[in-house]
């Protein structure tokens, strides 16, 4: 799908998160065989809290429109851009456009940032327990990037379930954080290679032992990942009331 947006909508009384803003593709890079990083230049860049998402809207030349949500991977900076990490799904209408067609200079629209309860910043404190499946790691990556900037003393653990190491998003960055940041631990599980398989009670216990009782817990991924992961975490004694979940699909 191409995008035929020509100009930003006129100023209106609508709250900023409900307005659509023009955005331009500033960079596209390959992250894994299934995921691309897309940098978008837009007036709303820099307004996000870590963990929030934006809605993306594409408009075809015949006027047909499609919109989807994508977590913001980047933390606010001076670049005037924000980074999305998009997994190209087979026959995916919007992810397919990002993955196969998007080029620097293409226009689209964004609104947001959205999702105040699934977000974190330094003053919210920790310890921080994060669990992500597949591309569900994206908002958690933003939280870890923010934590490293503003609150590196807060203990944090990321349980990350992914099919293979080659499909893990930002694995180099996460392993470097695990190695270099005193209070962060990565617990990676690959479900289609190696012998460890899916996350289990022992892995959750190990993460909890590393950080102590969490005060903030964020889980993100498909339903198939989030529901059992939440059960394991609550089963390990974490109060359900502090567990925040975001689901990306089946
Ligand atoms: C709050 C939120 C944040 C999100 N953040 C991200 C993100 O950071 N990165 C990212 O890649 N995606 C993210 N998603 C998912 C994204 O919104 C789309 O659902 C996804 O890109 C598929 O859209 P599509 O138009 O390409 O596929 P569609 O054309 O809608 O569907 C194509 C096929 O894929 C299946 N499908 C749809 N969605 C998914 C899915 N999520 N997983 C597996 N199969 C699916 C459909 O059943 C269909 O068979 C997020 C979703 C939400 C709700």
Q: In angstroms, what is the span from residue 8 Cα to ligand 1's centroid?
A: 26
Instruction: Please give the order of strands across the beta sheet that includes 35-42.
Output: 65-71, 53-59, 107-114, 21-32, 35-42, 81-87
Which pLDDT score, from 0 to 100, does residue 9 have? Answer: 42
Residue 39 backbone dihedrals phi, psi, to 5 degrees: -95, 130
Residues of the chain with pLDDT under 70: 1-17
Determine the residue of 95, 114, 135, 138 to mutate for testing ligand 1's pocket, defined as the one with the most ligand atoms within 8 A of the Cβ atom: 95
Q: Whose CA is nearest to atom 2 of ligand 1?
A: 69
Write out pLDDT tens, residues 26-72.
999 999 999 999 999 999 999 999 999 999 999 999 999 999 999 99
Q: Give, in order, the Cα–Cα distances in Å from 129 to each of 27, 213, 216.
A: 31, 9, 6
- Position in ligand 1 atom list of the atom nearest CA 115: 1
Instruction: Establish whether residue 140 lines the binding site of ligand 1, counting it when its CB lies within 6 angstroms of any ligand atom.
Output: no
Tokens at 236, concatenated: 């390990």
Task: Give 86: exposed, middle or buried? Use CB within 10 Å, 0-12, 13-18, 19+.
Answer: buried
Instruction: List residues bridging with 86 in a β-sheet.
Output: 36
Instruction: Establish whether residue 138 lines the binding site of ligand 1, counting it when its CB lies within 6 angstroms of any ligand atom.
Output: yes
Q: In angstroms, what is the span from residue 250 Cα to ligand 1's centroid?
A: 9
* Residue 50 to residue 122: CA distance in whole angstroms: 10
Which pLDDT score, from 0 to 100, does residue 10 have? Answer: 44
Instruction: List residues bridging with 84 in a β-sheet.
Output: 38, 72
Determine the residue of 35, 40, 70, 141 to mutate for testing ligand 1's pocket, defined as the one with the most ligand atoms within 8 A of the Cβ atom: 70
Residue-range domains of the chain with CATH: 16-113 (2.40.30.10), 122-247 (3.40.50.80)
Which pLDDT score, from 0 to 100, does residue 16 have? Answer: 66
């Amino acid at each position: 799908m191409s995008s035929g947006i020509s100009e930003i909508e006129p100023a209106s009384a609508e709250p900023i998160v409900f307005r659509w803003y023009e955005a331009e593709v500033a960079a596209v890079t390959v992250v894994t065989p299934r995921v691309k990083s897309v940098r978008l230049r837009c007036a709303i860049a820099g307004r996000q809290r870590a963990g929030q998402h934006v809605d993306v809207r594409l408009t075809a030349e015949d006027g047909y429109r499609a919109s989807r949500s994508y977590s913001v991977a980047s933390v606010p900076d001076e670049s005037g851009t924000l980074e999305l990490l998009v997994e190209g799904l087979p026959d995916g209408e919007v992810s397919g456009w990002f993955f196969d067609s998007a080029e620097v200079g293409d226009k689209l629209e964004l609104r947001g940032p959205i999702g105040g309860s699934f977000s974190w910043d330094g003053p919210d404190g920790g310890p921080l327990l994060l669990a992500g499946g597949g591309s569900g790691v994206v908002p958690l990556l933003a939280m870890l990037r923010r934590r490293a900037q503003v609150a590196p003393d807060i203990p944090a653990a990321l349980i990350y379930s992914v099919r293979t190491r080659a499909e893990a998003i930002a694995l180099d960055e996460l392993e470097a954080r695990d190695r270099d940041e005193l209070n962060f631990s990565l617990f990676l599980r690959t479900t289609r290679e190696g012998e460890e398989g899916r996350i289990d009670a022992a892995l959750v216990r190990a993460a909890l032992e590393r950080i102590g009782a969490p005060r903030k817990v964020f889980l993100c991924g498909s339903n198939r990942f989030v529901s059992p992961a939440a059960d394991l975490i609550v089963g390990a004694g974490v109060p359900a009331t502090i567990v925040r979940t975001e689901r990306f699909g089946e």
